[in-house]
Every structure is written in structure tokens, then in C-alpha cells.
């Protein structure tokens, strides 16, 4: 059996790859594994379960709730809320486990199951591996040890989760948003109610698009993966800025008043300076990934802020932050983690903090984002090659060294193997887009010849 857990839970086409039986079995296995680990010792266990609005989330939520309750876990069902809300409530309510049903920015037919440990943190890899092992053992024959009578879990709808999460968001903002006009694109997703409510309570004038989920339209031509509607709406309504979320609202991208995109690197740059000025940027360091734009790194160096870079993936950013005590980190895609206020990327919180900086400084988002110059970045995927030799080929190493000499300090080359496909990604940054394209094309040809 291939590994069920990816970098962000178990994900696949709902009712094909991700069935009700799988969701139920994984939930029972998770309860047993956490019981073995001592998480439930000395008390009756509780779980927080939430979902995004996908139609398949309705039956998958029922399966997860049934699995947990059958294993003796009391369930607080919070309904449709963002992933970071489920993580926050897991911690705030002292629950032993959190479960979110979402496939994030994926298309509607997909869905996923993501588990959180006590405190709202992602499960450690070893616990995920153990859950898979236990699930497989029982799927192939060994019966579960099930409680009966008063030992079964009870299920309660926790409607207060919405207000509690919104109050948390408002409570951590450094200042109000009075005087700002903001367009919010909710991707017909999990933040369709939460985000407009939070921005309005914080004082902003709010215009919403993509805020009418029907179970089938999540991420459909809108949200953080499709910014055209938001660009047009910001210009049409003469708004100060626009914020776009993905389906489960764990990330945020923005557009300025002219409709120009402000990506995750630029958002991180703005927030890094805001937190530095407020004395909240611990160790004067921000965490990014190897895909962070070189312009971001140069801007941080100019501002006296160190950039620590990790492998691609928000879990690696989070691991570095927790290990070293850093306060801010994120990815170009808009996953931004403010560790003092969230245990995972929180798109609504990110958008609120970005808007708060605009309100506090009286400067436009375009001016604030201008702290960094986003250097042209060219990415070429080279398929059908032996990606395992990307770091051992002498011919490729020589070509990379030549390219780096040619680009100098205002350019960068990154070659990395895909984690899911038989291909190598060639990324080149340079001050001049034509130079970046030429170098990337030349390196892609060498990858084909050296690793083909």
C-alpha cells in the first residue's frame, strides 16, 4: 500500500479514492493511536470536526464523526469553517484531536482529511505512519476493540465556534481597519461567512465576491488560484485592496488598488517590517522556502532581517519556526504563519494583518509591497528523466555553475526533483526576464541530455 498521508493529510477524489469507509477507518485508527500514545490518559477524549462546503464533505463528515464516536471520542461538530479555525478551536477548547475535511485549493471533486493533535498542531509524521499501519491491520481482519453503553462518544453541534474564532481574529489585530474599503474573494469556500464578518467587525467597508458556496462551486474560477475576478472588482469598486482565499482559507493572496497582484513573498515582506517595528519579529528573522523570490531575500537583507529558507511546503516552514522560535514564516503561494496567533497558515488572519498595516501607515498596499522588487522567475518542468540523479550529475553541475557565473548576484538557479512526478523543476531568476528564459531553457536541455 502506498502512503496514504501526503504533506497535507489524506487527499483524493471523494467517493473514489477517499471513501466513507476510508474516512471512518482512519478516524477510528487515529483515536486508537492517540489513546496508545497517552493523549487521552485520565479523561474522556474530545474531538473538534469541521469541513469546507464541498458536497462530499457532508457524507465524509458523517463518516469521521461516526468513526470517532464509535471509538469513544466525544465530538464537537463545528460545521463549515476554515482549516485554521478548526486548528484554533482544537487548541482553545482543549480538545484531544481536530479533524478538517477539505482539499484546500483543489477542484470540487477532490476532498481530504487532515488531523490535528492537541493544541491544534499538525500530527507528527510518526503518528501519521502509525495511524496508517493500524488502519491497514484492522481493514484486513483484526476487529476493533469498541466501547459500548455509556462508553460510546457523544456528538454535539458547536455553533459557538464561529463567533469564538472571529473574536480571536479581531483580538489579535494591532489596530482597526476604519476607513479602508476591501474586496474579499472567498473562493465559494470555508471562509465565505467568517472572513467578511471579521473584516466588517474590524471596521472595514467590505465588498464580497465568491461568497455563495453551493457545495459544487468551490475554487471554480475564483479565489487565490484565479485572481482575475478580484482584480476587476477592486478596480470597479475603487477599493484600497483585495484579498483572495483558497477553499479552506489557510492561505491569502492580495491585489493592490490598481489590481496588481501582491504575492506571498510580498505579503511576508510587509508583515516582517510591521512585526519588526512592533518588536514582535523574534531574532529579526523570517522563514521562507527555497522558492522564495530572490527579490524578497535582497529586500530582507537591506532591512537587516535574516531569511531562513526551508524545503517547499508549509509544514517545513512551520517545523523551522517551532524549532528555532521564529515568529513569522510562509510561502510565495500565500501560506503565511504568524506563530504567536496561529498554529498553521491562516488566510483570514493574514489578510487582516496586511490591511491593518495599510490602515496604520496610511500608505497604499502598492507602496508597502514596493519594499521588494519581485525579480522575474522562470520555471520549466522537465519530464521523463531520472530525477534521482539531479544532484549527482557532473555534466549538470557544470552547467549550473556556468549559469550562476553568468547571472551573478542578481540571479539564481534552483534545480529540484518533483516529490510526486518523474520530473525535474528548473527555476531561474534574473533581473532581466529574457536572460532568465534563456538560461532556464539552456539548463532544461542539459537536464534532458544528462538525465534522460
Q: With 90 as the cut, is the pLDDT of residue 357 above it?
A: yes
How far CA 432 is from CA of 88, 403, 411, 435, in Å, comes to 43, 14, 9, 5
Q: With 90 as the cut, is the pLDDT of residue 384 above it?
A: no
Contacts for 190 with CB less than 8 Å, ≥ 6 apart: 50, 51, 52, 53, 80, 81, 82, 83, 85, 102, 247, 248, 249
pLDDT score recorded for residue 178: 98
Same fold, 10-159 and 163-369: yes
Neighbours of 42 (CB within 10 A): 5
pLDDT score recorded for residue 420: 62
> What is this structure's pTM?
0.91
Q: What is the pLDDT of residues 310-341, one digit of tens each?
A: 988 888 999 999 999 999 999 999 999 999 99
- Cα-based torsion angle of the residue sequence 105, 107, 112, 116 in order, rounded to the nearest 10 degrees: 10
Name residue, grid cell 522558492: 291
Average pLDDT value for the chain = 94
What b/e sequence results for 21-40 when a residue is b if at least 16 CB atoms lie within 10 Å of its CB, and e otherwise? ebbbbbbbbbbbbbbeeebb
Q: What is the pLDDT of residues 1-49, one digit of tens each?
A: 457 888 778 999 999 999 999 999 999 999 999 999 998 988 999 999 9
Over residues 138-154, mean pLDDT: 91
Binding site membership for Mg(2+): which residues? 104, 246, 248, 250
Question: Of all helices (H) and strands (E), which one includes residue 99?
Answer: strand 97-101
pLDDT score recorded for residue 1: 43
Class of domain 163-369: alpha beta
Neighbours of 162 (CB within 10 A): 18
pLDDT score recorded for residue 2: 54
Three-point CA angle 160, 164, 165, nearest 5°: 120
**Superfamily holding 10-159:** Alpha-D-Glucose-1,6-Bisphosphate, subunit A, domain 3 (3.40.120.10)
340 contacts 280 by C-beta, under 8 angstroms: yes
pLDDT score recorded for residue 31: 96
Neighbours of 402 (CB within 10 A): 15
User: Cβ-count burial of 161 within 10 angstroms (0-12 exposed, 13-18 middle, 19+ buried)?
Assistant: buried
Q: What is the pLDDT of residues 194-238, one digit of tens each?
A: 999 999 999 999 999 999 999 999 999 999 999 999 999 999 999
Name residue, grid cell 463567533: 163
403 contacts 442 by C-beta, under 8 angstroms: yes
Strands (E), 126-192: 155-157, 181-185
Neighbours of 257 (CB within 10 A): 17
| Structural domain boundaries in the chain | 10-159, 163-369, 377-451
Residues catalogued as catalytic: 104
Distance CA 30, CA 130 (A): 9
Q: What is the pLDDT of residues 338-349, one digit of tens each?
A: 999 999 999 999
Q: What does the DSSP 8-state code read for residue 211? A: -
Question: Of all helices (H) and strands (E), which one includes residue 80?
Answer: strand 74-80
Percent of the chain beyond pLDDT 70?
99
Neighbours of 335 (CB within 10 A): 26
Three-point CA angle 224, 225, 227, nearest 5°: 65
Distance CA 428, CA 183 (A): 33
Question: In this structure, what C-alpha cell is assigned to residue 2?
Answer: 502506498
Distance CA 48, CA 135 (A): 21
47 contacts 117 by C-beta, under 8 angstroms: no
273 contacts 264 by C-beta, under 8 angstroms: no
Distance CA 427, CA 414 (A): 5
**Superfamily holding 377-451:** Alpha-D-phosphohexomutase, C-terminal domain (3.30.310.50)
Question: In this structure, what C-alpha cell is assigned to residue 276?
Answer: 519588526
Q: What is the pLDDT of residues 112-145, one digit of tens each?
A: 999 999 999 989 889 999 999 999 998 887 788 8
Binding site membership: which residues? 104, 246, 248, 250
| Tally of CA atoms within 13 A in the half-sphere of 90 that contains its CB | 29
The residues facing 155 across adjacent strands are: 75
247 contacts 105 by C-beta, under 8 angstroms: yes
Amino acid at each position: 500500500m502506498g502512503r496514504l498521508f501526503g504533506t497535507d493529510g489524506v487527499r483524493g477524489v471523494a467517493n473514489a479514492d477517499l471513501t466513507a469507509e476510508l474516512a471512518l477507518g482512519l478516524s477510528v485508527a487515529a483515536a486508537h493511536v492517540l489513546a496508545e500514545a497517552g493523549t487521552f490518559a485520565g479523561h474522556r477524549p474530545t474531538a473538534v470536526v469541521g469541513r469546507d462546503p464541498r458536497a462530499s464533505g457532508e457524507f465524509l463528515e458523517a463518516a469521521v464523526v461516526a468513526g470517532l464516536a464509535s471509538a469513544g471520542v466525544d465530538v464537537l461538530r463545528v460545521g463549515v469553517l476554515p482549516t485554521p479555525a478548526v486548528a484554533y478551536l482544537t487548541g482553545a477548547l482543549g480538545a484531544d484531536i481536530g479533524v478538517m475535511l477539505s482539499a484546500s485549493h483543489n477542484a470540487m471533486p477532490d476532498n481530504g482529511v487532515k488531523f490535528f493533535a492537541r493544541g491544534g498542531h499538525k500530527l507528527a509524521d510518526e503518528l501519521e505512519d502509525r495511524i496508517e499501519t493500524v488502519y491497514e491491520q484492522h481493514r484486513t481482519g483484526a476487529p476493533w476493540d469498541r466501547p459500548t453503553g455509556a462508553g460510546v462518544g457523544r456528538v454535539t453541534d458547536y455553533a459557538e465556534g464561529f463567533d469564538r474564532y472571529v473574536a480571536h481574529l479581531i483580538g489579535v489585530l494591532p489596530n482597526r481597519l476604519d476607513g479602508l474599503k476591501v474586496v474579499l474573494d472567498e473562493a465559494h469556500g470555508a471562509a465565505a461567512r467568517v472572513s467578511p464578518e471579521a473584516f466588517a467587525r474590524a471596521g472595514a467597508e467590505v465588498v464580497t465576491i465568491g461568497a455563495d458556496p453551493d457545495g459544487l462551486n468551490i475554487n471554480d474560477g475564483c479565489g487565490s488560484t484565479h485572481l482575475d475576478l478580484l482584480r476587476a472588482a477592486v478596480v470597479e469598486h475603487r477599493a484600497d485592496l483585495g484579498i483572495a482565499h483558497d477553499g479552506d482559507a489557510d492561505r491569502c493572496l492580495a491585489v493592490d488598488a490598481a489590481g496588481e497582484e501582491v504575492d506571498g513573498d510580498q505579503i511576508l515582506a510587509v508583515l516582517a517590517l510591521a512585526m519588526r517595528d512592533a518588536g514582535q519579529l523574534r531574532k529579526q528573522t523570517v522563514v521562507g522556502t527555497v522558492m522564495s523570490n530572490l527579490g524578497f531575500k535582497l529586500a530582507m537583507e537591506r532591512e537587516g532581517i535574516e531569511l531562513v529558507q526551508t524545503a517547499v511546503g508549509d509544514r517545513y516552514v512551520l517545523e523551522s519556526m517551532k524549532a528555532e522560535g521564529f515568529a513569522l514564516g510562509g510561502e510565495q503561494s500565500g501560506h503565511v504563519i504568524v506563530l504567536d496567533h496561529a498554529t498553521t497558515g491562516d488566510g483570514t488572519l493574514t489578510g487582516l494583518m496586511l490591511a491593518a498595516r495599510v490602515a496604520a501607515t496610511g500608505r497604499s498596499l502598492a507602496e508597502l509591497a514596493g519594499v521588494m522588487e519581485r525579480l522575474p522567475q522562470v520555471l520549466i518542468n522537465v519530464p521523463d528523466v531520472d530525477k534521482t540523479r539531479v544532484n549527482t550529475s557532473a555534466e549538470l553541475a557544470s552547467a549550473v555553475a556556468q549559469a550562476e557565473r553568468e547571472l551573478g548576484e542578481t540571479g539564481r538557479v534552483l534545480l529540484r526533483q518533483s516529490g510526486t512526478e518523474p520530473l525535474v523543476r528548473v527555476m531561474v531568476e534574473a533581473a532581466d526576464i529574457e536572460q532568465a528564459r534563456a538560461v532556464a531553457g539552456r539548463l532544461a536541455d542539459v537536464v534532458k541530455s544528462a538525465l534522460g
